[in-house]
Amino acid sequence: MKRPTLAALVVALILGASIAGPAVSGAMAQTADDMARYRSEFFGKLREALAGQRDVQVMGDHFVIQSGLLFQSGAAVLQPAGEKLLATIAQRLIAFSPQMPKDANWVLQVDGHTDSTPINNSLYPSNWELSTARAIAVVKFLNSAGVPNERLVAAGYSQYQPLSTIDRARNRRIELKLVNR
């Protein structure tokens, strides 16, 4: 059975799979299942590589890296320990990539988060800029380590996706997610 085009899958998402037909519905389900399997395999291998690494947690389908390991307070310049950790992640991602089907449309999404403490300086007028600059710094490092740009996405969430209302340090983090593009 021939796989439907990306355009057909988009139409199915917009109009509803039942309107687009059973072939598209089946392909959408297969694509979602495939992505879930690859994500699980990749994060399993990454979990093994990062075993015992403090400040790194697996939370469902993504990794959470506390920003203190990667950045100094109020900054978006990677620290040496953060670069070492990200180099390990890049190596694992590069090694895993050939296992993904050539037509798999995936990216590693890097999400930057801050706590609710306001920042206002010439580099970062708000937490929006800081969270985004941190995500971009991670993406640029991963690319310099060999991960293709077309497989990377940076997003900043500022303080608006907190993990804790009590422990602000937990909210300062980078999250890594393997997602469909």
Helical axes 80-96 vs 22-49, angle rounded to 10°: 140
122 located within any domain: yes
pLDDT at 32: 61
Extract the residue ranges of the chain whose pLDDT is less than 70: 1-35, 38-39, 42-43, 45-55
13 located within any domain: no
164 located within any domain: yes
46 located within any domain: yes
pLDDT at 143: 98
Instruction: Write out the residue range of the structural domain in which residue 155 sits.
Output: 23-180
Number of domains the chain contains: 1
42 located within any domain: yes
8 located within any domain: no
- Is residue 139 a contact partner of residue 93, using CB atoms and an 8 Å limit? no
| CATH number of the domain that residue 46 is part of | 3.30.1330.60
H or E segment to which residue 58 belongs: strand 56-59
pLDDT at 7: 46
